[in-house]
Amino acid sequence: MVSDDPETEARLREAAEGDERALHWLLERHRPRLRRMIAVRFDERLASRLDPSDVVQETLVDAARKLGDYLRERPLPFYPWLHRLASERLAQAHRYHLHSRRREAGRDRSGVRPWGVGSALRLVDLLATSGTSPSKHLIREEERQQITCALNELADEDREILVMRYLDQLAFGEIAVILDISEGAARVRHFRSLQRLRPLLEGPNEVGEP
């Protein structure tokens, strides 16, 4: 079972007693981590309207407002709770700004992408060098595009597990808590997703390679 570290637990108790400095510490400690989390999922089409830091700030304001309810119930550890709030805020931003832009332009029916193109390519490179590929071969551009397409064909939650594991660098226990599934289920879905991608990650066999 995932739990908060002792220092976070102490600050949560202080915040529950009304200590504003403890609240500030809790929120600011996770600001950089939340910004990275938002940035890897940030659709580039939002760039002219919004910055990842704006979404992070809205998330932290939301967290401060909801902290009392959180402390009474403690449904999950503190950072996974912030992660959920940030995901909800980002989804709202995607829906509002991208739908608004489509209304203004009268086009762009491609739908909301779950992540940015740059983040997709970064995930491809991390998967190829993380030990998921025995050969750890240098990925060529056409292979990178194939893997990106394969990632986009995964179920949203399966792809999100890979993003959480390799881009957010979360433990399986944290992933499970955020997605409200068992740790075993998170591990199985991670394994199955990698199995689907493995032929592309391993690259062509040397014998048959042109």
- Of 198, 46, 69, nearest to 115 (Cα)? 46
Contact 162, 123 (CB under 8 A): yes
Share of the chain above pLDDT 70, in %: 77
Whether 107 has a pLDDT exceeding 50, the answer reads no
Residue 151 lies in a domain: yes
What is the b/e burial string over 8-26, where b = at least 16 CB atoms within 10 angstroms of the residue's CB?
beebbebbeeeeeebbebb
Is 28 or 126 the better-scoring residue by pLDDT? 28
Q: Whole-angstrom Cα distance, residue 122 to residue 182?
A: 27
CATH number at residue 158: 1.10.10.10
Q: Flag the least confident range among 91-100, 152-161, 191-200.
A: 91-100
Based on the fold, state whether residues 192 and 155 are members of the same structural domain.
yes
Taking the CA of residue 154 as centre, how many other CA atoms within 13 Å lie in the half-sphere pointing to its CB? 24
- What would the pLDDT profile of 118-164 be if each residue is shown by its tens digit? 677 778 777 766 655 544 445 567 777 788 888 888 888 999 999 99
Residue 70 lies in a domain: yes
CA distances from residue 109 to 46, 89, 100, 113, 151 in whole angstroms, order as listed: 15, 22, 12, 11, 21
Q: Flag the least confident range among 84-98, 137-151, 158-172, 173-187.
A: 137-151
Q: Whole-angstrom Cα distance, residue 151 to residue 158?
A: 9
Based on the fold, state whether residues 132 and 45 are members of the same structural domain.
no
Residue 111 lies in a domain: no
Based on the fold, state whether residues 88 and 146 are members of the same structural domain.
no
Based on the fold, state whether residues 134 and 59 are members of the same structural domain.
no
Contact 163, 135 (CB under 8 A): no
DSSP label at 46?
G
Cβ burial, residue 195 (10 Å; 0-12/13-18/19+): exposed
Residue 112 lies in a domain: no
Quote the domain boundaries for residue 159.
117-202
Residue 110 lies in a domain: no
Based on the fold, state whether residues 94 and 122 are members of the same structural domain.
no
What is the band of 177 on the pLDDT scale with cuts at 50, 70, 90?
very high
Based on the fold, state whether residues 100 and 139 are members of the same structural domain.
no
Q: Whole-angstrom Cα distance, residue 41 to residue 104?
A: 24
- Give just the sign of the alpha carbon dihedral 143, 144, 146, 150: positive
Residue 210 lies in a domain: no
Based on the fold, state whether residues 98 and 130 are members of the same structural domain.
no
Q: Give the tokens for residue 208.
A: 């048959």
